[in-house]
């Protein structure tokens, strides 16, 4: 089975482009080359077509009239690019591997950037859209269980052995210890104990930083400690009182005023810390809006929040209707006009559209390379793993209150990579390798025919892995794919300043 590595498309501005996912590159091209490519992708023998041209000049429908000499010039260019591996038919063997190497996983363990603990399952709030709430069923029943401090210490010891080993190639890199919940500040002694444990340990290569995600209800009580230890703090708040009205206590009463009071107390007492270390995350739904959220955080705190969306993974069948009701209602009015232009500039990378654009530019080859060598000799033979799932432990590790070890906090708890308890950590690199290979093989056949391969960001854990052939809703045929690339190019042609701003402001972390 083979597919073409290239798709072509015209932007709204009438410009011609191709994208080649083997080379991972998009290029602005002349209309004649565009037409030649179009013929090639339709299966026409382009050499015969050029030879048989009857008139001079030649009219190409929708693109203009061109001299024979010009067409021959672009034909030669087409041949040259083809020799350089563009516009090829590619088969599965060219693209994918489904096996990881054990040493690669160990290398990730030794260069981990973030270890996050689900400190407790308990939370004072029962937010309507909570991933552990009534809308979802892909988690184990919550029993308000706390994570045992000794289990967390065993995890730290396990990773510290790798971090202090010669396999660690990221000297001086910061490793984050994250505290997540439930509400982590409900178990403040745990947080204190782990911070002091980290401070006492010797790490040869790395510095440690702390991060906490909180609902904001206990900030005032514990702020001295959090400030003293320079905690990066992410506060969940959906905007003003109405916007925040899904974030309620179990009895339905609102949490807004209490959180607001805490945040204001923190800002008053520690203004510099607040400026540097505090950020907000707002979930968009049908009770708030982009402009509303933007204005609230700008006016109240002089900050721009990151914007989250409702979790689409693991929704109960019986709750689909309620989920749809809670989803944000897009308004055309909101996404245009002077105020939106201002919002776009201020919130820039926090906006989902710009975020997607960044991912597109990052993955489409020209702006970022994985290895320095790729700057000079891009390895186009390199095989990739199916889907856009991160390599295990390449971003972080998440330990649930039950001691399950997961690749991150954003996925269900059904497929732990290992476990930890008060005795030990049970992680078997080879079994993890086999588990991933098995999942890749399930999706591999769809990826083989998918044009989105080069830009895929689909996490395999968001598919139904309980099935033998989980369906990927992001699968793209040639037309879907060229439409999706076109939408990014249209954005850049409409607002070229975004390109420069993205280059300047995006930080690609190792
Ligand atoms: S959602 Fe998937 S791809 Fe993203 S960090 Fe988590 S495991 Fe990795
Ligand atoms: S979008 Fe889905 S089918 Fe396409 S490459 Fe990614 S995981 Fe495979």
Q: Which atom of ligand 2 is nearest to the CA of 474?
A: 1
Beta-bridged to residue 65, according to DSSP, are 59
- Whether 139 lines ligand 2, by a CB cut-off of 6 Å, is no
β-strand partners of 235: 214, 280
What's the pLDDT at 111?
Answer: 94
Using CA atoms, how far residue 183 sits from 21, 190, 213, in Å, is 43, 12, 8
- Cα angle 124, 126, 131 (rounded to 5 degrees) comes to 115
Per-residue pLDDT of 335-362, as tens digits, reads 667 788 888 888 888 887 788 888 888 8
CB of 96 within 6 A of ligand 2: the answer is no
Q: Tell whether the model's pLDDT for residue 333 goes beyond 80.
A: no
Per DSSP, what are the bridge partners of residue 125?
A: 249
Q: What is the pLDDT of residue 379?
A: 65
Closest ligand 2 atom number to CA of residue 476? 4
Write the residue with the smallest CA distance to atom 4 of ligand 2.
475
Residue 92 pLDDT: 58
Beta bridge partners of 8: 18
Query: For 1-10, 36-45, 314-323, which range has the lowest pLDDT when averaged over its residues?
Result: 1-10
pLDDT at 234 > cutoff 90: yes
Taking a C-beta distance cutoff of 8 angstroms, is the pair 175, 131 a contact? no
pLDDT tens digits, one per residue of 250-297: 999 999 999 999 999 999 999 999 999 999 999 999 999 888 999 999
**CB of 119 closer than 6 angstroms to any ligand 2 atom:** no
Residues 125/183, Cβ–Cβ less than 8 Å: yes
E strand or H helix at 282? strand 278-283
Q: pLDDT at residue 139 above 60?
A: yes
More confident: 208 or 350 = 208
**Can you tell me which atom of ligand 2 is nearest the CA of 451?**
4
Cα separation, 489 vs 258, in Å, equals: 45
Of the given ranges (3-12, 236-245, 323-332, 363-372), which has the lowest mean pLDDT?
Answer: 363-372
For ligand 2, atom 7, the nearest C-alpha belongs to 387
Q: Best of 96, 388, 484 to mutate for ligand 2, by most ligand atoms within 8 A of CB?
A: 388
Confidence of residue 167 (pLDDT cuts 50, 70, 90): very high
- Predicted pLDDT at 361: 87
Ligand nearest to the CA of 458: 2
Contact predicate 183/218, CB 8 Å: yes
* Mean pLDDT, rounded, for 324-333: 75
Residue from 446, 457, 463, 484 whose mutation best tests the ligand 2 pocket (most atoms within 8 A of CB):
446
Looking at residue 93, its pLDDT comes to 63
Which of 45-59, 244-258, 291-305, 330-344 has the weakest average pLDDT?
Answer: 330-344
Q: What average pLDDT is seen over the chain?
A: 90
Q: What is the pLDDT of residues 378-414, one digit of tens each?
A: 666 677 889 999 999 999 999 999 999 999 998 888 8
Give the residue, out of 97, 444, 453, 460, with the most ligand 2 atoms within 8 A of its beta carbon, to mutate for a pocket test. 453
Looking at ligand 2, which residue's alpha carbon is closest to its atom 8? 447
Per-residue b/e over 354-373, b at no fewer than 16 CB within 10 Å? Answer: beebbebbbbbbeeeeeeee
| Residue in 459, 462, 472 to alter for ligand 1 test, most ligand atoms within 8 A of Cβ | 459
> pLDDT digits over 112-122, tens only?
999 999 999 99
The pLDDT, as a whole number, for residue 334 is 62
The pLDDT of residue 405: 98
Q: Nearest CA to 305 among 284, 287, 280?
A: 280
Judged against a pLDDT cut of 80, whether residue 369 lies above it is answered with no
pLDDT tens, 427-468?
999 999 999 999 999 998 899 888 888 889 999 999 989 899
Ligand (nearest to CA of 450): 2
Q: Is 334 in the pocket of ligand 2 (CB under 6 A)?
A: no
Tell me the average pLDDT across 302-313: 89
Distance (Å) from CA 290 to ligand 1 centroid: 25
Which residue blocks in 96-229 are alpha helix, DSSP H?
102-110, 149-163, 188-200, 219-228
Report how far ligand 1's centroid is from the alpha carbon of 147 (Å): 22
Looking at residue 346, what is its pLDDT? Answer: 87
> 503 or 224: which carries more pLDDT confidence?
224
Tell me, what's the pLDDT at 88? 83
Task: Give the mean pLDDT of 103-120.
Answer: 96
Check residue 387 and give its pLDDT. Answer: 92
CA of 203 to the centre of ligand 1 (A): 27
Contact in structure between 182 and 123 (CB atoms under 8 Å): yes
* Atom number in ligand 1 closest to CA 407: 7
Radius of gyration of the chain from its Cα atoms, rounded to whole angstroms: 26
Ligand 1 pocket test, pick from 408, 416, 474, 509 with the greatest ligand atom count within 8 Å of Cβ, gives 408
At residue 11, the 3 state secondary structure works out as: coil
pLDDT over 60 (residue 332): no
Query: Do 26 and 56 touch, CB atoms closer than 8 A?
Result: no
Q: Which of 363, 386, 461 to mutate to test the pocket of ligand 2 (most atoms within 8 A of CB)?
A: 386
Rounded to an integer, the average pLDDT of 56-64 is 88
- State which H helix or E strand residue 306 sits in: strand 306-308
pLDDT at residue 305 in the model: 94
SS3 content of the chain, % helix, strand, coil (to 5): 40, 15, 40
| Cβ–ligand 2 contact at 454 (below 6 Å) | no
Picking from 157-166, 239-248, 369-378, 424-433, which range would have the lowest pLDDT averaged per residue? Answer: 369-378
Residue of minimum CA distance from atom 2 in ligand 1: 459
More confident of the two residues 31 and 347 = 31
More confidently predicted of 99 and 366: 99
Cβ of 456 closer than 6 Å to ligand 2, yes or no, is: yes
Interval between CA 19 and ligand 2 midpoint (Å): 17
Q: How far is the CA of 256 from the centre of ligand 1 (A)?
A: 31
The fraction of the chain above a pLDDT of 70, given in percent, is 94
Ligand nearest to the CA of 395: 1
**What separation in Å is there between the alpha carbon of 143 and the centre of ligand 1?**
25
Residue 375 has pLDDT above 70, yes or no: no
């Amino acid at each position: 089975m083979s597919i073409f590595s290239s798709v072509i498309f015209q932007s709204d501005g009438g410009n011609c482009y191709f994208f080649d996912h083997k080379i991972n590159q998009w290029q602005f091209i002349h209309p004649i080359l565009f037409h030649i490519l179009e013929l090639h992708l339709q299966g026409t023998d382009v050499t015969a077509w050029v030879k048989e041209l009857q008139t001079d000049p030649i009219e190409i429908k929708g693109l203009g009239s061109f001299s024979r000499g010009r067409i021959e010039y672009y034909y030669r260019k087409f041949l040259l690019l083809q020799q350089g591996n563009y516009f090829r038919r590619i088969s599965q063997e060219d693209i994918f591997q489904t096996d990881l190497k054990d040493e690669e996983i160990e290398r990730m363990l030794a260069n981990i950037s973030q270890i996050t603990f689900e400190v407790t399952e308990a939370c004072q709030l029962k937010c309507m859209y909570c991933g552990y709430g009534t809308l979802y069923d892909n988690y184990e029943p919550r029993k308000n269980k706390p994570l045992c401090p000794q289990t967390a210490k065993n995890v730290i010891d396990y990773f510290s052995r790798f971090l202090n080993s010669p396999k660690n190639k990221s000297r001086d890199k910061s490793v984050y210890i994250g505290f997540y919940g439930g509400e982590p500040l409900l178990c403040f002694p745990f947080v204190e104990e782990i911070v002091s444990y980290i401070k006492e340990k010797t790490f040869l290569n790395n510095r440690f930083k702390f991060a906490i995600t909180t609902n904001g209800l206990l900030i005032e009580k514990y702020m001295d400690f959090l400030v003293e230890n320079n905690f990066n703090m992410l506060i969940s708040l959906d905007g003003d009182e109405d916007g925040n009205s899904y974030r309620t206590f179990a009895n339905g009463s609102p949490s807004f005023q209490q959180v607001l009071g805490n945040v204001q107390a923190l800002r008053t007492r520690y203004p510099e810390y607040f400026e540097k270390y505090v950020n907000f995350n707002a979930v968009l739904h049908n009770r708030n809006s982009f402009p509303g959220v933007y204005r609230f955080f700008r006016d109240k705190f002089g900050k721009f929040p990151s914007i989250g969306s409702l979790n689409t993974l693991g929704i109960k069948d019986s709750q689909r209707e309620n989920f749809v009701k809670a989803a944000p209602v897009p308004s055309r009015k909101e996404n245009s006009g002077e105020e939106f232009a201002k919002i776009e500039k201020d919130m820039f990378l926090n906006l989902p559209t710009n975020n997607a654009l960044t991912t597109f530019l990052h993955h489409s080859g020209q702006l970022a390379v994985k290895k320095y060598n790729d700057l000079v000799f891009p390895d186009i033979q390199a095989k990739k793993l199916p889907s856009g799932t991160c390599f295990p432990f390449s971003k972080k590790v998440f330990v649930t209150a039950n001691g399950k070890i997961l690749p991150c906090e954003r996925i269900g708890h059904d497929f732990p990579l290992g476990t930890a308890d008060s005795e030990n950590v049970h992680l078997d690199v080879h079994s993890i390798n086999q588990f991933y290979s098995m999942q890749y093989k399930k999706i591999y056949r769809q990826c083989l025919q998918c044009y989105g391969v080069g830009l895929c960001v689909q996490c395999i854990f968001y598919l139904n892995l309980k099935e033998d052939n989980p369906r990927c809703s992001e699968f793209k045929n040639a037309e879907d794919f060229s439409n999706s690339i076109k939408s990014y190019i249209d954005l850049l042609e409409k607002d070229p300043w975004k390109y420069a701003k993205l280059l300047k402001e995006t930080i690609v972390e190792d």
